[in-house]
Protein backbone atom coordinates (compact mmCIF):
# COMPACT_ATOMS: atom_id res chain seq x y z
CA UNK A 1 0.00 0.00 0.00
CA UNK A 2 2.89 2.37 0.77
CA UNK A 3 4.30 1.85 -2.74
CA UNK A 4 0.96 2.70 -4.33
CA UNK A 5 0.63 5.84 -2.21
CA UNK A 6 4.18 6.87 -3.08
CA UNK A 7 3.47 6.32 -6.79
CA UNK A 8 0.30 8.44 -6.64
CA UNK A 9 2.12 11.30 -4.91
CA UNK A 10 5.07 11.14 -7.31
CA UNK A 11 2.75 10.99 -10.32
CA UNK A 12 0.85 14.07 -9.21
CA UNK A 13 4.10 15.95 -8.52
CA UNK A 14 5.31 15.18 -12.06
CA UNK A 15 2.22 16.59 -13.77
CA UNK A 16 3.14 20.32 -13.64
CA UNK A 17 6.67 19.55 -14.90
CA UNK A 18 5.26 17.48 -17.75
CA UNK A 19 2.86 20.26 -18.78
CA UNK A 20 5.70 22.81 -18.76
CA UNK A 21 7.93 20.50 -20.83
CA UNK A 22 5.14 20.06 -23.38
CA UNK A 23 4.58 23.82 -23.61
CA UNK A 24 8.28 24.52 -24.02
CA UNK A 25 9.43 21.69 -26.30
CA UNK A 26 6.48 20.32 -28.30
CA UNK A 27 5.07 22.46 -31.12
CA UNK A 28 1.31 22.88 -30.80
CA UNK A 29 1.30 22.46 -27.02
CA UNK A 30 2.21 26.06 -26.19
CA UNK A 31 -1.23 26.69 -24.67
CA UNK A 32 -1.93 23.28 -23.20
CA UNK A 33 -3.34 22.87 -19.72
CA UNK A 34 -4.78 20.15 -17.49
CA UNK A 35 -8.55 19.98 -17.17
CA UNK A 36 -8.85 16.82 -15.09
CA UNK A 37 -6.63 14.24 -13.41
CA UNK A 38 -7.82 10.82 -12.35
CA UNK A 39 -7.42 10.58 -8.59
CA UNK A 40 -5.90 7.07 -8.53
CA UNK A 41 -2.86 5.77 -10.30
CA UNK A 42 -3.55 3.08 -12.87
CA UNK A 43 -2.33 -0.43 -12.09
CA UNK A 44 -0.95 -1.96 -15.23
CA UNK A 45 -0.74 -5.55 -14.08
CA UNK A 46 -2.19 -7.48 -11.20
CA UNK A 47 -3.50 -10.98 -10.63
CA UNK A 48 -4.36 -13.34 -13.44
CA UNK A 49 -6.42 -16.52 -13.39
CA UNK A 50 -5.18 -20.00 -14.20
CA UNK A 51 -6.90 -21.25 -17.30
CA UNK A 52 -7.09 -24.52 -19.14
CA UNK A 53 -4.20 -23.10 -21.17
CA UNK A 54 -1.53 -20.50 -20.34
CA UNK A 55 -0.09 -18.49 -23.22
CA UNK A 56 3.67 -18.01 -22.82
CA UNK A 57 6.42 -15.71 -24.05
CA UNK A 58 7.89 -18.53 -26.16
CA UNK A 59 4.61 -18.99 -28.05
CA UNK A 60 4.13 -15.32 -28.88
CA UNK A 61 7.79 -14.78 -29.80
CA UNK A 62 7.34 -17.58 -32.36
CA UNK A 63 4.13 -15.94 -33.64
CA UNK A 64 2.16 -19.11 -33.02
CA UNK A 65 -1.50 -19.07 -34.06
CA UNK A 66 -2.98 -22.35 -32.79
CA UNK A 67 -6.13 -23.93 -34.21
CA UNK A 68 -8.15 -22.84 -31.15
CA UNK A 69 -7.27 -19.13 -31.55
CA UNK A 70 -10.20 -16.86 -30.69
CA UNK A 71 -8.37 -13.51 -30.74
CA UNK A 72 -5.11 -12.10 -32.08
CA UNK A 73 -2.46 -10.05 -30.37
CA UNK A 74 0.32 -8.10 -32.08
CA UNK A 75 1.37 -5.25 -29.80
CA UNK A 76 5.03 -5.02 -28.79
CA UNK A 77 6.29 -6.53 -25.57
CA UNK A 78 7.10 -3.64 -23.26
CA UNK A 79 8.11 -4.42 -19.72
CA UNK A 80 8.80 -1.50 -17.40
CA UNK A 81 11.35 -1.91 -14.62
CA UNK A 82 9.52 -1.16 -11.38
CA UNK A 83 12.67 0.42 -9.96
CA UNK A 84 13.01 2.98 -12.78
CA UNK A 85 15.66 1.09 -14.73
CA UNK A 86 14.02 1.55 -18.13
CA UNK A 87 11.84 -0.49 -20.42
CA UNK A 88 12.49 -3.74 -22.29
CA UNK A 89 10.91 -3.55 -25.75
CA UNK A 90 10.61 -6.49 -28.14
CA UNK A 91 8.89 -6.39 -31.51
CA UNK A 92 6.84 -9.47 -32.26
CA UNK A 93 4.74 -11.11 -34.96
CA UNK A 94 0.97 -11.41 -34.58
CA UNK A 95 0.03 -14.34 -32.33
CA UNK A 96 -3.09 -16.28 -31.45
CA UNK A 97 -4.82 -16.28 -28.09
CA UNK A 98 -6.28 -19.75 -27.48
CA UNK A 99 -9.79 -20.28 -26.15
CA UNK A 100 -8.35 -22.23 -23.18
CA UNK A 101 -6.78 -19.01 -21.84
CA UNK A 102 -10.33 -17.72 -21.27
CA UNK A 103 -11.64 -20.76 -19.38
CA UNK A 104 -10.87 -21.55 -15.74
CA UNK A 105 -8.88 -24.68 -15.08
CA UNK A 106 -10.18 -25.02 -11.52
CA UNK A 107 -13.63 -23.44 -11.30
CA UNK A 108 -16.47 -24.88 -13.37
CA UNK A 109 -18.53 -22.37 -15.32
CA UNK A 110 -16.01 -19.51 -14.96
CA UNK A 111 -14.56 -17.62 -17.92
CA UNK A 112 -12.12 -14.72 -18.07
CA UNK A 113 -11.83 -11.71 -20.30
CA UNK A 114 -9.38 -8.86 -20.67
CA UNK A 115 -6.23 -8.48 -18.59
CA UNK A 116 -6.95 -11.33 -16.19
CA UNK A 117 -6.78 -14.18 -18.74
CA UNK A 118 -4.30 -17.02 -18.35
CA UNK A 119 -1.03 -15.66 -19.75
CA UNK A 120 2.45 -15.18 -18.35
CA UNK A 121 3.78 -11.75 -17.37
CA UNK A 122 5.58 -11.21 -20.67
CA UNK A 123 2.47 -11.96 -22.73
CA UNK A 124 0.50 -9.63 -20.43
CA UNK A 125 2.74 -6.74 -21.49
CA UNK A 126 1.62 -7.29 -25.08
CA UNK A 127 -2.03 -8.38 -24.80
CA UNK A 128 -3.09 -5.73 -22.24
CA UNK A 129 -4.13 -3.14 -24.85
CA UNK A 130 -7.78 -2.32 -25.49
CA UNK A 131 -8.19 -3.72 -29.05
CA UNK A 132 -6.87 -7.10 -27.94
CA UNK A 133 -8.94 -7.03 -24.74
CA UNK A 134 -12.06 -6.23 -26.79
CA UNK A 135 -11.40 -9.19 -29.10
CA UNK A 136 -10.93 -11.43 -26.05
CA UNK A 137 -14.21 -10.11 -24.61
CA UNK A 138 -16.04 -10.94 -27.83
CA UNK A 139 -14.62 -14.46 -27.76
CA UNK A 140 -15.51 -14.99 -24.09
CA UNK A 141 -19.06 -13.80 -24.72
CA UNK A 142 -19.47 -16.12 -27.68
CA UNK A 143 -17.99 -19.02 -25.70
CA UNK A 144 -20.35 -18.37 -22.79
CA UNK A 145 -23.35 -18.13 -25.12
CA UNK A 146 -22.42 -21.44 -26.78
CA UNK A 147 -22.10 -23.10 -23.36
CA UNK A 148 -25.56 -21.88 -22.34
CA UNK A 149 -27.07 -22.80 -25.70
CA UNK A 150 -25.82 -26.40 -25.44
CA UNK A 151 -26.23 -26.76 -21.66
CA UNK A 152 -22.53 -27.51 -21.16
CA UNK A 153 -19.58 -25.99 -19.33
CA UNK A 154 -17.40 -23.40 -21.12
CA UNK A 155 -14.50 -25.86 -21.22
CA UNK A 156 -16.67 -28.33 -23.15
CA UNK A 157 -17.60 -25.86 -25.91
CA UNK A 158 -16.61 -26.75 -29.46
CA UNK A 159 -14.07 -24.04 -30.27
CA UNK A 160 -14.75 -24.40 -34.00
CA UNK A 161 -18.31 -23.17 -33.33
CA UNK A 162 -16.96 -20.17 -31.40
CA UNK A 163 -14.54 -19.39 -34.24
CA UNK A 164 -17.29 -19.69 -36.86
CA UNK A 165 -19.52 -17.24 -34.97
CA UNK A 166 -16.61 -14.82 -34.53
CA UNK A 167 -15.73 -15.05 -38.24
CA UNK A 168 -19.35 -14.38 -39.19
CA UNK A 169 -19.05 -11.17 -37.12
CA UNK A 170 -15.89 -10.28 -39.10
CA UNK A 171 -13.41 -11.11 -36.34
CA UNK A 172 -9.86 -11.53 -37.58
CA UNK A 173 -8.48 -14.87 -36.38
CA UNK A 174 -5.38 -15.21 -38.57
CA UNK A 175 -2.67 -12.68 -39.42
CA UNK A 176 -2.79 -11.13 -42.89
CA UNK A 177 -0.59 -12.99 -45.37
User: Could you tell me if 35 and 61 lie in one domain?
Assistant: no
Range of the domain at 117: 57-168
In a domain, 125, yes or no: yes
* Interior angle at CA 121, CA 74 and CA 76, nearest 5: 25
In a domain, 48, yes or no: no
pTM: 0.78
In a domain, 174, yes or no: no
Domain count, the chain: 2
In a domain, 49, yes or no: no
User: Could you tell me if 96 and 31 lie in one domain?
Assistant: no
Tens place of pLDDT per residue across the chain (177 aa): 788 888 888 888 999 999 999 999 999 999 999 998 877 777 667 778 999 999 999 999 999 999 999 999 999 998 877 777 888 899 999 999 999 999 999 999 999 998 899 999 999 999 999 999 999 999 999 999 999 999 999 999 999 999 999 999 999 999 987
User: Could you tell me if 121 and 98 lie in one domain?
Assistant: yes
Amino acid sequence: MLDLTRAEIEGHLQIPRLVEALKKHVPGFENCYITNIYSNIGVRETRRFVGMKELTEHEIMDGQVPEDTVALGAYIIDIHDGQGGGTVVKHIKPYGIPYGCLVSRDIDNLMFSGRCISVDAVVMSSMRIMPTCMAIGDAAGVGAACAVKHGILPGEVDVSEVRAILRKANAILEPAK
